[in-house]
Amino acid sequence: MNLRAAVDGFIAHLGTERGFSEHTVRSYGSDLAQLVAFASERGATQPGELDLELLRDWLWHSSQRGLAKSTLARRAAAVRSLTAWLARTNLSAADAASRLKAPKPDHYLPRVLTREQMDAILGIVAGRAISDDPVALRDCAIVELLYASALRVSELTGLDRGDVDQGRLTVRVMGKGSKERIVPFGVPARAAIDDYLRRGRPALAPDESAGSPLFVGARGGRLANRTVYTLVSTLLSGVPGTGPAGPHTLRHTAATHLLDGGADLRAVQEMLGHASLGTTQLYTHVSTERLKESYRIAHPRA
């Protein structure tokens, strides 16, 4: 089996047996396709011909192209997973990337909205929904649920009608790695979802079975992630602040507001679906920075 075919087998393995998300599988596939081309130029066309020197050279050339540290880290992770799999399946005699290192990605504090900014955005979508326009009703429910449950955009668009328990105020979410979790939401989100289901969704899609999509597009099919990105980025375009303006900003905001309000860190970890507590701890740094800024502004002896 040549290297290209081996990489194809590895990518298929990630999707079917490891349960990686479509986004991760696509990113790894793109990275490793470039590795195959790089290796081929240097005469390495078989899995066993990958060695540490070649892999280090590939990462170095990637860095010279100006790729971000986060991209280099992902490429290193992809190739480490590949060579471990090649060794495990006896397609290679050794795990060539076991000692491969990449620069640690820069860590930036995420963009987080203040409570006043979040209230203003929720007021905008609620005001639009008064018109009874089905898309406005849907968009209001989307923003309320994103903020209430701190969902990823793919988790939101993947919801079916039967995943929402309006009586218990919970939603069943399929997260990364096909891991299911139950996430709470509040009364305002329930009201927005109720309005959308009663007055908005029937105008967009006739299918109201439990297995049908919760959020649908103008043609009645499952809502695309891009539509949610466009909605949220437009709402955030007039809000002061730096950093990415998309659905993940509402997730960051919800997590930070929970911790600001005294929520337990492990409870927030479970709600967000983070595999590592360290990932959730990022939001404690956000809260600390916000406290420091408030102190600098308000305290006479700051």
The answer to whether 182 touches 194, Cβ cutoff 8 Å, is: no
Cα–Cα distance for residue pair 291/302, rounded to 1 Å: 12
* Residue 152 annotated in active site: yes
Largest CA distance in the chain: 71
Which among 75, 111, 190, 248 is annotated as catalytic?
248
How far from each other are the two terminal CA atoms of the chain, in whole angstroms? 66
Of 254, 223, 234, nearest in space to 151 by CA = 254
Torsion angle defined by CA atoms of residues 170, 175, 180 and 183, in that order, rounded to the nearest 10 degrees: -20
Q: Is 80 a catalytic residue?
A: no
- Number of other CB atoms surrounding residue 158 within 10 Å: 19
- Active-site entry in 75, 80, 111, 152: 152
Q: In this structure, what DSSP letter does residue 171 have?
A: E
**Is residue 59 a contact partner of residue 100, using CB atoms and an 8 Å limit?**
yes
Nearest to 55 by CA among 75, 70, 69, 71: 75
Sheet holding 170-174, edge to edge: 164-165, 170-174, 180-184
Site of tokens 């908005």:
200
CA-closest candidate to residue 23, choices 176, 158, 149: 176
Distance CA 83, CA 77 (A): 10
The secondary structure of residue 199, as a DSSP letter, is: I
Residue 251: active-site member: yes
Examine the residue annotation and report whether 4 is marked as an active-site residue of this protein.
no
Nearest to 67 by CA among 78, 56, 75: 75
**Annotated catalytic, 274?**
yes
- Annotation says 65 is catalytic: no
Marked catalytic residue, from 176, 181, 199, 290: 176
CA dihedral for 289, 291, 297, 300, sign (positive or negative): negative
Catalytic residues: 152, 176, 248, 251, 274, 283
